[in-house]
Chains A and B, each alone.
Chain A
Amino acid sequence: MPLTIVACVKQVPDSWAEKRLLDIDSTLDRESADPVLNELDEYAIEEALRIREAQGEDGSEVVVLCMGPERATDTIRKALSMGADRAIHVVDDQLHGSDAVATSAALTRALGTTQWDLAVFGSESTDARMSVVPAMVAERLALPQLTFAQKVEVDTAGRSATVHRQTDDGYDIVSAALPVVISVVEKINEPRYPSFKNIMAAKKKPLETLDVAALGLDPAEVGLAGAWSAVEAFEQRPPRQGGVKITDEGDGATKIADYLVGQKML
Chain B
Amino acid sequence: MSEILVLVEHDGGAAKKVSHELLTLASRHGEPGAVVVGPGADDAGLAADLARFGAARIYTAPDAALVSAIVAPKVAVLAQLMAERSPAAVLIASTAEGKEIAGRLAVRTGSGVITDAVDIDAGLTAVQSVFGGSTVVRSRVTTGTPIVTVRPNATAQQESAGAGEVVAVSVELAATDTAAAVVEHVVQAKGGRPELAEAAIVVSGGRGVGSAEGFDLVERLADALGGAVGASRAATDAGFYPHQYQVGQTGKTVSPQLYIALGISGAIQHRAGMQTSKTIVAVNKDAEAPIFDLADFGVVGDLFAIAPQLTEQVESRKG
| A→B interface (CB under 8 Å) | 15-21, 26, 39-40, 99-101, 104, 124, 126, 129-136, 138-140, 142-148, 150, 162, 164-177, 180, 185-187, 227-237, 239-248, 252-257, 259-261, 263, 265-266
Which of B112, B140, B251 has the most CB atoms of chain A within a 10 A radius of its CB? B112
Distance of A218 from chain B, by nearest CB (Å): 14
- Please name the residue on chain B nearest to A266 by beta carbon: B317
Once A101-B113, A170-B187, A237-B133 are accepted as A-B contacts, the answer to whether A132 and B317 lie under 8 Å apart by CB is: no
Once A101-B113, A234-B135 are accepted as A-B contacts, the answer to whether A162 and B183 lie under 8 Å apart by CB is: yes
- 4 smallest A-B Cβ distances: which pairs? A248-B301, A132-B103, A228-B112, A253-B309
Q: How far is the CA of A175 from the CA of B281 in the complex (A)?
A: 43
Task: Determine which of A20, A129, A186 lies in contact with B135 in the assembled complex, contact meaning CB atoms within 8 Å.
Answer: A20
Task: Determine which of B95, B104, B314 lies in contact with A139 in the assembled complex, contact meaning CB atoms within 8 Å.
Answer: B104
Distance of A206 from chain B, by nearest CB (Å): 31
Distance of A25 from chain B, by nearest CB (Å): 13
Residue interface mask B166-183, A partner, CB < 8 A = 1: 000000001010011111
Once A187-B243, A240-B294 are accepted as A-B contacts, the answer to whether A135 and B185 lie under 8 Å apart by CB is: no
Total A-B Cβ pairs within 8 A = 277
Q: Are B310 and A256 in contact (CB under 8 A)?
A: yes
- Say whether B107 faces chain A, with CB atoms less than 8 Å apart: yes
Once A131-B96, A142-B176, A247-B301 are accepted as A-B contacts, the answer to whether A136 and B103 lie under 8 Å apart by CB is: yes
- 24 intermolecular pairs with C-beta atoms under 8 Å apart: A16-B268, A19-B131, A130-B103, A132-B106, A136-B104, A145-B72, A145-B100, A166-B243, A168-B95, A170-B188, A172-B185, A172-B186, A176-B179, A176-B181, A177-B179, A180-B180, A232-B139, A237-B135, A241-B294, A242-B296, A248-B302, A257-B317, A263-B258, A266-B317
Task: Determine which of B182, B269, B301 lies in contact with A172 in the assembled complex, contact meaning CB atoms within 8 Å.
Answer: B182
Q: Are A227 and B112 in contact (CB under 8 A)?
A: yes
Contacts of B258 on A, CB cut-off 8 Å?
260, 263, 265
Task: Determine which of B243, B244, B297 lies in contact with A244 in the assembled complex, contact meaning CB atoms within 8 Å.
Answer: B297
Distance of A137 from chain B, by nearest CB (Å): 9
Which of B249, B251, B267, B293 has the most CB atoms of chain A within a 10 A radius of its CB? B249
Distance of B234 from chain A, by nearest CB (Å): 13
Contacts of B246 on A, CB cut-off 8 Å?
186
- Please name the residue on chain B nearest to A230 by beta carbon: B142
Distance of B29 from chain A, by nearest CB (Å): 16
Q: How far is the CA of A241 from the CA of B279 in the complex (A)?
A: 11
Task: Determine which of A162, A169, A261 lies in contact with B187 in the assembled complex, contact meaning CB atoms within 8 Å.
Answer: A169
Q: Are B294 and A174 in contact (CB under 8 A)?
A: no
- Say whether B82 faces chain A, with CB atoms less than 8 Å apart: no
- Say whether B50 faces chain A, with CB atoms less than 8 Å apart: no
Q: Are A244 and B296 in contact (CB under 8 A)?
A: yes
- Please name the residue on chain B nearest to A231 by beta carbon: B139
Main secondary structure on chain A at its contact with chain B? mixed
- Kindly state the interface size class of chain B when it binds its partner: 35 or more
Distance of A185 from chain B, by nearest CB (Å): 7
- B6-62 with Cβ < 8 A to chain A: none
Distance of A171 from chain B, by nearest CB (Å): 5
- Say whether B250 faces chain A, with CB atoms less than 8 Å apart: yes
Task: Determine which of A39, A171, A180, A257 lies in contact with B313 in the assembled complex, contact meaning CB atoms within 8 Å.
Answer: A257
Distance of B106 from chain A, by nearest CB (Å): 6
Q: Are A229 and B184 in contact (CB under 8 A)?
A: no
Q: Are B301 and A131 in contact (CB under 8 A)?
A: no
Q: Are B107 and A140 in contact (CB under 8 A)?
A: yes
Once A185-B243, A242-B293, A261-B317 are accepted as A-B contacts, the answer to whether A228 and B100 lie under 8 Å apart by CB is: no
- Please name the residue on chain A nearest to B279 by beta carbon: A263
Q: Are A245 and B295 in contact (CB under 8 A)?
A: yes
Once A231-B137, A245-B298 are accepted as A-B contacts, the answer to whether A254 and B313 lie under 8 Å apart by CB is: yes
Contacts of A139 on B, CB cut-off 8 Å?
72, 75, 103-104, 107-108
- Say whether B306 faces chain A, with CB atoms less than 8 Å apart: yes
Once A135-B71, A245-B300 are accepted as A-B contacts, the answer to whether A130 and B134 lie under 8 Å apart by CB is: no
Q: How far is the CA of A150 from the CA of B103 in the complex (A)?
A: 21
- Say whether B2 faces chain A, with CB atoms less than 8 Å apart: no
Contacts of A146 on B, CB cut-off 8 Å?
180
Contacts of A40 on B, CB cut-off 8 Å?
250
Q: How far is the CA of A40 from the CA of B184 in the complex (A)?
A: 26
Task: Determine which of A135, A180, A261, A263 lies in contact with B104 in the assembled complex, contact meaning CB atoms within 8 Å.
Answer: A135
